[in-house]
């Protein structure tokens, strides 16, 4: 079977292609051109992906998705930040591009399935239904980022690295002479490589978000900030205030350009509500069933009870407080190692 491998130029996607070939598939490599920089024929990622494909005797193509990426991911990121949210563009990219548009690309090249280098696993249950699970390497697990995949499409996804550690992946790539074996992992959002989100937002909108007020829960003003887009819930450093005790960003009111500060204890909440919940598991939780939940990628899971509401809303009531949930981030629920699904956090409650 021909399978389409999404190749970024890094070691993970190259190793995924290699493993597919060893499993008897016919891998076809494709690099998605998402940014203006990546569209340069000499872009390092494209050159590296092409070299890996050549080493593995694979067909290789590039697909220009700059317009879709700009419209669906970049503009959404900017719009959310301007509304006072804290978006996760990598989740949206997975939803709309990598596990959205990529299926049409697979059909274009006669491929029945798509392959990525994510550290997560899929498996069929006794009824033949596909389920999503955490990756074996807890430090690299990316199942959180994949909660948004359409359940009907999950069975057409191959994740070869799910049972491997990063060290094993690098060792495999080196053993087979792949030049990307020692490539560094990407740490930044691809369209904001310098990490200056505020500068990117202002360039995209042509607007400057100016200074505003730092306020406390009682409404009192304790200082001035540099614009609400420069802050995120849970932040303590970089506030530019001289304070007798530490204060943290609790939330942002974009309409008034105010940033709410509070104590660390006041950041905690026992309840979070989400919208547009994507149920990726074929078995939703029973009423009152105990699940575990991550409210941000990289956070530890917290036990909770999940309650379904109307119009795709889901509420999580936690057994112990969670710190600084951010509107715009995602709360993802697990049943053991299985991903149940996730939704975007709305109107988090910060105070008792």
Please give the Cα distance from 72 to 69 (Å, whole number). Answer: 5
Q: 157 is written with which tokens?
A: 């996804």
Q: What are phi and psi of 68, to 5 degrees?
A: -60, -45
* Catalytic-labelled residue, pool 20, 130, 148, 190: 190
The reply to whether 20 belongs to the active site is no
Half-sphere exposure of 53 (CA within 13 A, CB side): 23
Q: Which residue has the tokens 């974009």?
A: 254
Quick check: 117 and 109 in contact, CB under 8 A? Answer: no
DSSP secondary structure code for residue 146 in this structure:
G
Calculated CA dihedral for residues 247, 248, 252, 253, nearest 10 degrees: -20
C-alpha of 39 from chain center:
23
Catalytic residue among 20, 93, 148, 262: 93
Burial (0-12, 13-18, 19+ Cβ within 10 Å), 204? middle
314 and 277 Cβ atoms separated by less than 8 Å: yes
| Pure H helices in 56-181 | 66-69, 75-82, 89-93, 102-108, 151-154, 166-175
Order the strands of the 221-225 sheet from edge to edge: 221-225, 212-215, 258-262, 248-253
Q: How far is CA 328 from CA 80, 233, 347, in A?
A: 7, 11, 9
290, 321 Cβ separation under 8 angstroms: no
**Is 90 designated active site?**
no
**Using an 8 Å Cβ cutoff, are 349 and 269 in contact?**
yes
204 touches 80 (CB < 8 A): no
Structure tokens at 11: 């070691």
Q: Name the residues annotated as catalytic.
A: 93, 190
């Amino acid at each position: 079977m021909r399978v389409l491998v999404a190749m970024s130029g890094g070691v993970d996607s190259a190793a995924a292609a290699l493993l597919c070939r060893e499993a008897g598939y016919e891998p076809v490599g494709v690099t998605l051109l998402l940014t203006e920089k990546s569209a340069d024929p000499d872009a390092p990622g494209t050159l590296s992906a092409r070299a890996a494909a050549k080493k593995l005797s694979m067909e290789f193509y590039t697909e220009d998705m700059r317009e879709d990426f700009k419209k669906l991911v970049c503009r959404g990121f900017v719009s959310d930040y301007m509304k006072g949210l804290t978006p996760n563009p990598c989740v949206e990219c997975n939803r709309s591009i990598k596990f959205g548009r990529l299926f049409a690309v697979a059909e274009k090249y006669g491929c029945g399935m798509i392959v990525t280098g994510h550290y997560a696993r899929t498996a069929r249950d006794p009824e033949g239904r596909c389920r999503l699970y955490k990756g074996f390497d807890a430090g690299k697990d990316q199942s959180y980022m994949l909660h948004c995949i359409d359940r009907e499409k999950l069975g057409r996804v191959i994740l070869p690295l799910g049972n491997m550690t990063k060290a094993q992946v690098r060792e495999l790539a080196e053993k087979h002479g792949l030049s990307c074996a020692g490539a560094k992992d990407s740490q930044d959002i691809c369209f904001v490589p310098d990490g200056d989100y505020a500068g990117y937002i202002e360039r995209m909108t042509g607007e400057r978000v100016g200074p505003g007020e730092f306020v406390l829960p009682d409404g009192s003003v304790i200082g001035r900030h540099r614009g609400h887009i420069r802050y995120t819930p849970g932040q303590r450093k970089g506030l530019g205030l001289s304070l007798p005790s530490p204060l943290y960003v609790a939330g942002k009111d974009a309409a008034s350009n105010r940033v709410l500060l509070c104590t660390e204890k006041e950041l905690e909440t026992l309840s979070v509500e989400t919208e547009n919940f994507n149920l990726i598991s074929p078995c939703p939780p029973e009423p009152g069933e105990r699940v575990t939940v991550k409210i941000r990628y990289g956070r530890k899971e917290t036990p909770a009870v999940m309650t379904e509401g109307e119009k795709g809303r889901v509420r999580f009531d936690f057994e112990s407080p969670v710190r600084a949930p951010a509107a715009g981030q995602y709360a993802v629920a697990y049943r053991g190692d299985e991903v149940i699904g996730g939704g975007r956090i709305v109107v988090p409650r910060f105070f008792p």
